[in-house]
Amino acid sequence: MVMEHNANLSCIHTFDGKLSPIIQKLKKEQFDFIVDLQKNIRSKKMVSALNIPHFTFPKLNILKWLFVTFKLRLLPDKSIVDRYFYAVKKLRVQNDGEGLDFFIPENSRTKQDDIPMGHYAGFVACVIGGSFFTKRYPVEKWQEFCSLCPYPIVLLGGKEDKENGDAIMKINPGKVYNACGKFSLLESADLVRRSKVVVSNDTGLMHIAAAFQKPIVSLWGNTTPEMGMFPYFGHNNLKQYRNPKSLVQEVKELSCRPCSKIGFEKCPKGHFKCMNNIEVGKVISDVNQFWNLKHI
């Protein structure tokens, strides 16, 4: 579990799908407050059962629906992280501006020889996985990227991404290392930490990369960073202040985008232009820009 190594947490209670047992455990803790960042049916039932003061935040579901359905851009120019802070406003908790945290225990740190020798001096971490098809850059586009990219590459993803990783790696096995399915989530996070630049779909490792303050080129298909899930480095947004370590590649002019706030297993329109039309040359240009910066 990714949270258990966080030194700032004193106790973690896990939820296995059954409300009654976890409610009984939480009652014994005699908490003073609840901060509900889920704000769904189950969390509301839990809050009601514990019957103690609680705080939450506006999820803006109506504004998201208007954005997806009618393309009305009414959402605030804020990260979901900054919106979460609304839930702890009454507790006087303030954003320290340092960005996200992610902790990797010593036994999950990768060794130098876990990657090829040609990658020791630096590599681009490419996160090819994603929770839905419409959030994943196509294999043929990754193949083109790996063919044109002048730097060593490590492909990251789960076991379900290994086959795609193998197909991408065949472009240049000496330059491209397929780590998909070979490492745990924590070990993959450590490879992100060791990378020089990260190219990622809208997925969990993208946020872990932001926690490590890595330069990120994020690729957006049917989802959009305007929903608030863009890489967060601390007090950054999309318009007023974009962090210099975050570059976004997306096809803005598509009238069908966003088609969902989560994703689909196939493009509803059948053309998948939101990903297919992201130019590989622009992604390469962004990677070059980050790779050549002296302070990275």
DSSP secondary structure letters along 3-60: TTT-TT-S------S-HHHHHHHHHHHT-S-EE-SS-SHHHHHHHHHHTS-EE-----
Give me the residue label for tokens 């020791």.
120
Supply the pLDDT for residue 5: 92
Tokens for 292, please give them: 């050549």
Q: Which of 204, 6, 213, 214 is nearest to 105 (CA)?
A: 6
Q: Which residues in the chain land under pLDDT 70?
A: 294-296
Query: What count of other Cβ atoms lies within 10 Å of the Cβ of residue 121?
Result: 9
Nearest Cα neighbor of 209 from 194, 229, 228 is 194
114-291 CATH: 3.40.50.2000
CA 104, 110, 112, 118 dihedral sign is negative
The reported pLDDT for the residue numbered 186 is 97
End-to-end C-alpha distance for the chain, whole angstroms: 29
pLDDT of residue 294: 63
Q: How far apart are CA 206 and CA 212, in angstroms?
A: 10
- What is the rounded CA–CA span in Å between residue 23 and residue 45? 9
In the prediction, which pLDDT does 295 show? 54
Per domain, the residue ranges of the chain are 24-56, 114-291
With beta carbons less than 8 A apart as the criterion, state whether 103 and 45 touch: no
C-alpha 210/C-alpha 198 separation (Å) is 9
Are 63 and 47 in contact by the 8 Å Cβ rule? The answer is no
According to the model, what pLDDT value does residue 83 have?
95
Q: How far is CA 177 from CA 133, 165, 180, 200, 218, in A?
A: 22, 9, 9, 16, 20
